Copies of this chain bind each other. A is one copy, B any other.
């Protein structure tokens, strides 16, 4: 997949976005309040009324000359948005563009409370507080390097563009840990609206996508799970298949080791259920150095091509 500067135009038949799913809630009994609103005005603000909450946002691009009629829906990880599949932190084309150039109709979700989906700012609806992610935590969780190496001494051979760690950190958004069920529901609503498709999901999005796939055996043909953080195995062996992809440095700390074991167990559980699946441990497939942010790493272009071929097979 060539870089855009050297490439032929991306030819789109159409592009757009929609919000989907969620629920309407009615607030009553709260006091009316007055607040500064613009430099010129205050407003009398009545918080009582009808609110849309727990919807998802989906942006889509339809190529003019598709190589398949089966779209890919990208599902981001926790504390991230659909922007994860756009330009990488060091300015390379992201997977949305690469898959579009490969002829896939492409959809990318911002799930409930992330990005353009919006979050619920009304008190008492969601449990807990939103959690922010700092660069140190990302460094560890995403396996960029040893804890003491933050921010510029990564693991040897690291493919993540560490010099752009600060740019990457700007793409973090807060997350709740109590909204998983709402996120699965909104993802299912998105799948039903789009129609038959394949899911490419990452990390926390892996759990959501696998749960949604189990609920939609007629609509989700394949799930590509990039280092999923949660699982659902009740897929339909007759209609669905799974590709699980793992990066490198899988035993760099006890948390990572436990997580790696669960991902391997997941693949084994699928096999035991008769679900056609593959487990790609990239380091043992001649592609060492991948972090948890597989789609941003150097060489993500080649991985996208391999995954595209698997989806089209």
Binding site for B on A (CB under 8 A): 4-5, 9-20, 22, 24, 27, 35-41, 43, 45-52, 55, 57, 59, 64, 81-83, 86-87, 91, 93-94, 96-97, 110, 115-116, 118-122, 129-132, 134-137, 151, 166-167, 169-174, 177, 180, 204, 207, 229-230, 255, 258-259, 262
> Which residues does chain B contribute within 8 Å of A82, judged by CB atoms?
116
- Indicate which residue in B4, B59, B119, B135 contacts A51 across the interface (CB closer than 8 Å): B135
> What are 21 of the A-B contact pairs (CB < 8 Å)?
A4-B13, A11-B11, A18-B91, A19-B170, A24-B169, A35-B131, A40-B262, A41-B229, A41-B259, A45-B131, A50-B135, A50-B136, A51-B134, A59-B83, A81-B115, A81-B116, A81-B118, A110-B116, A116-B171, A119-B173, A122-B132
**Residues in B whose Cβ lies below 8 Å from that of A48:** 134, 136
- 19 additional contacts (CB under 8 A) given A51-B134, A52-B135: A4-B15, A9-B11, A10-B11, A10-B15, A11-B11, A27-B134, A35-B131, A38-B204, A41-B258, A45-B137, A46-B134, A47-B132, A52-B169, A52-B170, A59-B86, A81-B116, A118-B173, A118-B174, A119-B174
Contact present for B170 and A87 (CB under 8 Å)? no
The reply to whether B50 and A134 form a contact with Cβ atoms under 8 Å apart is: yes
The CB with the most chain B CB atoms within 10 A, among A4, A9, A122, A136, is that of: A9
